[in-house]
Structure 1
């Protein structure tokens, strides 16, 4: 498949599940509208010292974007699913936040002027949908002002080689870490696992940790890299809450997530 074909396949899925996620307890839309933050404890800690104008790529239905707007003076959520962005704008309108807007488009060609943002925040569940990571990071660097910061937090690529086993508390090794870079998989919805989904097949990207770090340091000065034993969703039935919007396993063979803070020079 060409890149455009992969995006078409994946966008069909994201267009379909956007309305499903609007009603899902996982996204807690009513709580976000009433003022509760959807950002995990890791997110909040990473962003604590930053302010100004923030770009939030891969924003989906915008609950994290709305939460960011309570901290930053201006936030723009960006996603390739027009249906998701329409829902995100509706959620934002209900919060009556003047700081939050949304745009639709390709993350390799963001329709804003260069040096428009102080912070770019790319978080949970984004990297598996980015096939050309160096190109995306170059575009994020372009829209960021000199001295601005990239803040990235996502599932650790090592943990992607382990899927839910039987029982669902087990981590079963199913993929090779150095295997194919693009994986066609059948997926139930992660937020509503019993819901019927028409577009079950998606194409996911795979990046090693070295590839992610290499792409970052090609255009930014690395400030901080951390690994964690928690995720922002309950991926396994035996995971316990370990902070706001975080869950962890008592024992785990690999890091579950990571974060990067880097600066445009």
Structure 2
């Protein structure tokens, strides 16, 4: 989930994020661990943590901030979540809903030979699973570092580093497309991304994407009891921004209500055929940011939109 390819979530498309959000309350400055893999990467300042706020952030600022954030934090992300994600699983979100069971892209046996684009691919775990089914995936992400992890794990399919809002593919290049927490949570103009997905899909093609369930924006991003009380307006679309001491955004997430997401899908030229809200399974005892068994049994954490191109 979440970001990736050089092409790459994360394809966070102009943001390319890939995976579940990490919203913190303003002025919460808990330090992230620094873990390196093969090549050195510039880390955020060890003396100054970004400040969390809510303010406007346009397409350019959001893309620049999230590309930088995922490049700096890809190592930590893969160390922290790599075991849960596996090297070649297709997981739609922290609940652990697996495509092998959900079949939102269709029965696995019908994927053979299909050209599939994953945006916000991160380390390309989903693309790797698709390749194992005989599909012909392309993994795209805005983060070069995330795609380096895809190379480290391996796989015989193309990796593309690009913005999901400007896909470097010809019209009608793909039969299917997918994104597990990649790109769409991080972009300021989701309709732009959806129109690009519509353009590169063939008639009858399907695009399935998962995002943080919009209701979560009304609650603190905490896994325990403190995360069960409404703390903000569900209808406040002001982006969540982490910025440095000079006011430059270093991480951005954009909130859309359920209604907004549906209208975005339609404005992008798609027909919405299903909206899946995975329930928290009894076997999943893990916590992932604000996702946890406690909260997952009470409120939805992920929304999956199944869209088709006529």
Q: TM-score interval w.r.t. the shorter chain? A: 0.7 to 0.9
Q: 2 CA distance for matches of 1:16 and 1:226?
A: 32
Structure 1 residues 171 and 125: CA distance shift in structure 2, 3 A: farther
Instruction: Report the Cα distance in structure 2 between the residues aligned to 1:25 and 1:13, rounded to whole angstroms.
Output: 16
2:277: which partner in 1?
227
Matches within 5 A, 1:23-38: 24-28=79-83, 31-32=86-87, 37-38=89-90
Which structure exhibits the higher relative contact order, with contacts defined as CA atoms closer than 8 Å and separated by 6 or more residues? Answer: 2
Q: Which residue of 1 aligns with 2:292?
A: 239
Supply the distance in 1 between the matched residues of 2:80 and 2:135 (Cα, whole angstroms): 28
Counting only pairs closer than 5 Å after superposition, residues 187-202 of structure 1 correspond to structure 2 as 201-202=250-251
Higher strand share: 1
Of the three residues 132, 147, 172, the one matched with 2:189 is: 132
* 1:5 maps to 2:61: yes
1:260 aligns with 2:305: yes
TM-score, normalised to structure 2, is 0.67
User: 1:108 Cα deviation (Å)?
Assistant: 1.1
Q: Do the aligned partners of 2:124 and 2:139 also contact (CA within 8 Å) in 1?
A: yes
Of the three residues 207, 213, 225, the one matched with 1:150 is 207
Say if 1:185 and 1:173 are closer, same or farther in 2 by CA, change over 3 A.
Answer: farther
Corresponding position: 1:62 with 2:124: yes
TM-score, structure 1 normalization: 0.77
Whole-Å separation in 2 of the counterparts to 1:162 and 1:126? 22
Deviations 1:2-56, CA, capped at 9 Å, x for gaps:
421222222221001112234x152129952xxx525243433123425211100
Q: How does 1:70-219 map to 2 (within 5 A)?
A: 70-92=132-154, 97-98=155-156, 100-124=157-181, 126-165=183-222, 167=224, 170-185=227-242, 201-218=250-267, 219=269
User: 3-state SS of the aligned residue for 1:230?
Assistant: coil
Aligned residue in 2 for 1:245:
none
- Measured in 2, the distance between the counterparts of 1:47 and 1:19 equals 29
1:72/1:140 Cα in 2 relative to 1: closer, same or farther (>3 Å)?
farther
Superposition deviation, residue 101 in structure 1 = 1.5
Q: CA deviation at 1:180?
A: 3.1
Q: 1:86-141 CA distances to partner (integer Å, 9 max, x unpaired)?
A: 2212322xxxx43x221011111111111111111021254321210111100000
What are the superposed Cα offsets for residues 206-225 of structure 1, whole Å, 9 maximum, x if unpaired? 11111111111231122212
Runs of 5+ in structure 1 lacking a partner? Answer: 187-198, 241-247
The whole-number CA distance in structure 1 between the counterparts of 2:290 and 2:258 is 26
What 5-or-longer segments of structure 2 have no aligned partner? Answer: 1-56
How far, CA to CA, are the matches of 1:43 and 1:211 in structure 2?
Answer: 25
CA contact (8 A) 1:164 1:172 kept: no
- CA shift digits 1:175-200 (9 cap, x unpaired): 321113322148xxxxxxxxxxxx99
Question: What is aligned with 1:18?
Answer: 74
CA contact (8 A) 2:85 2:125 kept: no
Q: Secondary structure at the match of 1:26?
A: helix
Question: Which residue does the alignment assign to 2:105?
Answer: 47
